[in-house]
Amino acid sequence: MWEWLIPVLIVVALVAIVGIYLWATYNSLVALNVRVDEAWSDITVQLKRRADLLPNLIETVKGYAAHEKAVFENVTRARAETLGAGGPAEAGVAEGHMQQALRSLFAVAESYPQLQASQNYLQLQQSIVDTEDKIQASRRFYNGGVRELNTKIKVFPNNLFARNLGFHEREFFEVVDGAAISEPPRVQF
């Protein structure tokens, strides 16, 4: 009479285990997705901070090297490209251009000893170096979150249902022109 109860309990237990697994996996995917969004937000804050510092740096250098018009235009163009980047791929391209433009700007500044002695210039330069460090740290944090999320989406059995639940792999923030960042902008005090 109770022999049907054991198979029913086994089925109920299996359904409960699968349900708990799906619930836990869904919640962890949501948490990872939010962490990646937060990390991207941190990157955009630092990119904006650097972009806000650049006009002051350009004006300071321009006071000593007004004839270096192409360098200033390149920095301004790279700044606009950085602010207009819509995602990691576009930001990676813009970051390569920005690094090249900053390298050129700092190279021009090295030719002017009076500029190198300017307290305003030194403070701006230090602020940009600090911001560059924060961008690097934010990029590592973002890429780590993307790696975790993408791995969680790809592993079995998550790959069977994660995409159906609306989770998709995210792009890494990689600079397209690796040579542009292989050597950071040279800053001398």
Distance, CA of 145 to chain centre: 11
- Residues 122-154 as b or e (16 or more Cβ within 10 Å = b): eebbebbeebbebbeebbebbbebbeebbebbe
**Residue 78 · residue 101 · CB < 8 Å:** yes
DSSP string, 51-79: HHHHHHHHHHHHTT-TT-HHHHHHHHHHH
* Model pLDDT, residue 187: 45
> What pLDDT does 1 receive?
63
CATH of domain 14-182: 1.20.1440.20
Q: pLDDT at position 178, please?
A: 55
Mean pLDDT by 10 residues, the chain (189 residues): 85 94 94 95 93 88 80 90 90 90 86 81 88 93 95 92 91 73 47
pLDDT of residue 189: 38
Q: What is the domain partition of the chain in residue ranges?
A: 14-182
